[in-house]
Amino acid sequence: MRYASKALVLLLAGGIGSRLNILVGHRAKPAVPFGGIYRIIDFSLSNVMNSGLTKVGVLTQYKPLSLMRHIGTGEAWDFTGRTRGVKILPPRTGEKDSDWYKGTADAIRQNIDFIKANPSQQVVILSGDHIYRMDLDDMISYHRQKKADVTIGMMKVPMEKIHEFGTGIVDNDNRIIDWEEKPKEPKTDLASMGIYVFDTQYLLNSLAKDKKEIDFGMHIIPRALAEDRVYAYPFEGYWRDVGTIQSYWDTNMDAIRPDSDLSTEQWGIRPNPDADGLTMDRPPARLASGCHVNSSMISAGCIIEGTVINSVLSPGVHVHKGAIIKDSVIFADSVIEEDAVVDLVICDKQVRVGQKAIIGHGGNKDTVNRLYPTHLYTGITLIGKKAEVAPGISIGRNCIIHTNTTSADYADKKTIEDGETL
């Protein structure tokens, strides 16, 4: 028996995701392109669709326009029809930043009217910024079997990363008996995935108790442990938080590694091909005579005349003769001109790399970015949307070239040193 049709989904998609640096300068984190033809939020939306859930509220906040255009009517994920739909839910308390959602629980509280307008037995709360596959119907069934008030999706993570998560200690029945939010000295390796199932009336009652409780991990869950039935739903599949430049790059590389557990096709992940003209009306990729492509993802509309190795190319990327792309992620409609080298780089949309420019090749991966040492420290260089990289320029490792930079901004520079920003 499937339970998903009786549940309502609230998808949290308003995060700033500041650790992704210039990739989120003009878009919300869930709207960041991923894996050639997708955006990060496509994974959560596809999980919802594949699990049989039909009513979704998407809570937006930070720079929501590209996300709203991408979701559109929800048709790409079958969220159209008399009994199904997706609704965008922006903050409604005011227009200032201080009126934004103050936390995950506050975001849900501001949308209680949406919950009441769509009667359900359970409410499923998801984050829109993770790469994973999960059958949410199984989780809802587990929740009902346990007669839980709250069920939290949880998985084991390496102890050196556990401080980034909410953590739970469980008994032999998977009931959570202790909870710590981002512990400095963790007692467990069991981490919250930010996926919750609540009985609907329990959620409404819990949110009404104390409006100062603004976050699930910090406030709602600890109180619920003491008073109610809170269970862990054990998850052992592929799940990645792509909240940092390094994890974002790693996960894109998983999309092309043959031994990876990430498989968008097998998972049934759907993009929105109509959004922003991403793939509609583009011709098939064209690989010219003499080009070389190895272990890479090449999307529709790409023209490859040079060399592409271990890289992910979104639609419309043009790699000219003699150009080399290696270990990189290139967003849509970027152009890499003749004899340019792009090595360990993430390029946003519509970037133009001039002839014989060198980005990342050589350099010192240990020289962290001077302005953002916690964002860029493994050698990856970022190129912002619509940026021009001047012909012949040499750009080092862990560098940032900002959005809309033009060739004139380089002045008489011939080199951007490792760790510098332009």
CATH number at residue 153: 3.90.550.10
Task: For residues 161 and 22, state if they share a domain.
Answer: yes
Q: Could you tell me what percentage of the chain is helix, strand and coil, using 3-state DSSP and rounding each to the nearest 5?
A: 25, 25, 50
Given this model, what pLDDT does residue 361 score? 82
Given this model, what pLDDT does residue 216 score? 86
Burial of 294 (0-12, 13-18, 19+ CB in 10 A): exposed
Helix, coil or strand: residue 136: helix
Q: Which of 217, 234, 254 is the last residue in one of the domains? A: 254
Q: Answer whether residue 314 is part of any domain.
A: yes
**Across-strand partners of 304?**
287, 319
Task: For residues 39 and 119, state if they share a domain.
Answer: yes
Task: For residues 49 and 173, state if they share a domain.
Answer: yes
Task: For residues 91 and 55, state if they share a domain.
Answer: yes
Measure the CA–CA gap between 109 and 107, rounded to whole angstroms.
Answer: 5
Kindly write down the DSSP assignment for every residue of 193-240, as one continuous string. Answer: EEEEEEEHHHHHHHHHH-TT---IIIIIHHHHHHHS-EEEEE--S-EE
Task: For residues 239 and 348, state if they share a domain.
Answer: no
Given this model, what pLDDT does residue 96 score? 53
Given this model, what pLDDT does residue 336 score? 98
Q: Answer whether residue 421 is part of any domain.
A: no
Token pair for 390 = 């001047």
Q: Which of 237, 254, 271 is the last residue in one of the domains? A: 254
Q: Answer whether residue 265 is part of any domain.
A: no
Task: For residues 186 and 297, state if they share a domain.
Answer: no
pTM of the predicted model as reported, rounded to 2 decimal places: 0.94
CATH code of residue 399? 2.160.10.10
Q: Answer whether residue 187 is part of any domain.
A: yes
Task: For residues 213 and 153, state if they share a domain.
Answer: yes
Q: Answer whether residue 274 is part of any domain.
A: no
Inter-residue contact 26 to 244 (CB < 8 Å): no
Counted domains in the chain: 2
Given this model, what pLDDT does residue 4 score? 62
Task: For residues 189 and 234, state if they share a domain.
Answer: yes
Q: Answer whether residue 259 is part of any domain.
A: no
Token pair for 148 = 């839980």
Domain hosting 67: range is: 4-254
Inter-residue contact 277 to 349 (CB < 8 Å): no
Given this model, what pLDDT does residue 223 score? 87
Task: For residues 57 and 157, state if they share a domain.
Answer: yes
Measure the CA–CA gap between 233 and 212, rounded to whole angstroms.
Answer: 27
Per-residue DSSP letter, 290: T
Task: For residues 232 and 118, state if they share a domain.
Answer: yes
Q: Answer whether residue 422 is part of any domain.
A: no
Neighbour order of strands in the sheet with 400-401:
297-298, 312-313, 329-330, 345-347, 381-383, 400-401
Amino acid at position 273, single letter: P
Other CB atoms within a 10 A radius of the CB of residue 417 amount to 15
Other CB atoms within a 10 A radius of the CB of residue 268 amount to 12
Q: Answer whether residue 276 is part of any domain.
A: no
| Mean per-residue pLDDT pooled into runs of 10, the chain (422 residues) | 77 85 91 94 96 93 86 91 87 58 85 93 93 96 95 92 89 93 87 94 91 82 89 94 94 94 94 73 92 96 97 97 98 97 97 97 89 96 97 96 94 92 94
Task: For residues 358 and 249, state if they share a domain.
Answer: no
Task: For residues 120 and 196, state if they share a domain.
Answer: yes
Token pair for 113 = 């009217």
Q: Which of 210, 238, 254 is the last residue in one of the domains? A: 254
First to last CA, the chain: 57
